[in-house]
Every structure is written in C-alpha cells, then in structure tokens.
Amino acid sequence: MVSHFHGDHVGGLLDHPRARIVAGGAGADHALSLRGLTATRHAILPALLPDDLRDRLDPVESFARADVAGLTAWDLLGDRSLLAVDLPGHMPGHLGLLFTSGGRQVLLVGDAAWTTRSYRDLKPPSRLARNVMHDWPTTLSTLAVLHALDAAHPDLLILPAHCPEGHAAWYAGA
C-alpha cells in the first residue's frame, strides 16, 4: 500500500518484486508520466519505481467504496478492517490508511500533515513548502478535515509519516 509516490515513500518497493501494489491510480499515472529533472522537481525518483509497476498495480479505485467520517474510502480486504482513505492535495492520488491496532483506531496520513501539531493546531506548512504541494488549497482543506477528525475522535491516532511525536504516541500505545 503506497500513500503516494514521492521518493521518500517508495524506497521499499524494489525489495518486494512479487507484491501487488495498492495505490491511487492518479498517483501512479502522475509518477509514471514524469522523467528526468521534471520528475526530480516533483520529488519523484523513477529509479525507485519497479519497471512492472503498471502490471502489479491495484488502483485503489478498483476496490469497493466504503466512505467513512465523510471521507472517500475504499475497503481493501472486504470487511472494513483496512480502509484506504482519500486525503488529496499533497500529490495526485494521495491516500491514508485506516485500521485498528491494539484496540485503537489508527489513521496513517502519509504527508497530508507533516506533524501532529500541524493538524492539531491547524498550522499549515510554511509558504516555502507550497512548491512541494500539488494542490495547495486542497492541502489546506484536507488538513482542516484531519483537524476536525482529531477534535471529534480523541481516541483516534492520526499518524503523519514524518512526525517523531506521532511515532512516540504509536509506540506508547503498542
């Protein structure tokens, strides 16, 4: 399951040459369409993408819809135990993953927020970071959605990929 295709989120794909790859179809199309310096400018590193990515891709849109908490979601295992959640803005097809672990609901949000503080205090990334975001207004609206989810569901652990504070909360609850 790939949240999005930025180079720092796909480093393990080449280690799993037979695995199916679940990802947003738009994200895969975007990543595969870019080459050279243009790809680098979009934080895509083509050398990290399997040559047969297209053949092994299961676009998330091919799974049954199972919207949750007002968010578009897809049921990856058919029993609502593992939901891919649409968290748009950071990159085309950017996804989160919702599941239960140790009795607690966890929402991995990839780069939809970079820190816990960002969604909790509704603090967007700096203006300098705008260049990295595919769609800045949508990035902000997704951050607002995470902020509201956090406020409404205090037991839900929302975990950004790059947040040490979030990782500490994860290990504390494990």
Residues forming the site for Zn ion (CB under 5 A): 6, 111
Residue with tokens 């243009």: 38
To Zn ion, the closest distance from the beta carbon of 79 in angstroms equals 29
Count of beta carbons in the 10 Å neighbourhood of residue 91: 28
**Cα–Cα distance for residue pair 42/18, rounded to 1 Å:** 27
To Zn ion, the closest distance from the beta carbon of 103 in angstroms equals 30
What's at 155, amino acid-wise?
Answer: D
Which residue, 57 or 89, is less far from Zn ion as judged by CB?
A: 89
To Zn ion, the closest distance from the beta carbon of 80 in angstroms equals 27
Name which of 36, 161, 27 is nearest 107 in CA terms.
Answer: 161
Which residue, 71 or 132, is less far from Zn ion as judged by CB?
A: 132
Which residue, 66 or 166, is less far from Zn ion as judged by CB?
A: 166
Which residue, 7 or 80, is less far from Zn ion as judged by CB?
A: 7
72 neighbors 85 (Cβ within 8 angstroms): yes
Which residue, 111 or 150, is less far from Zn ion as judged by CB?
A: 111
22 neighbors 60 (Cβ within 8 angstroms): yes
To Zn ion, the closest distance from the beta carbon of 4 in angstroms equals 6
To Zn ion, the closest distance from the beta carbon of 21 in angstroms equals 17
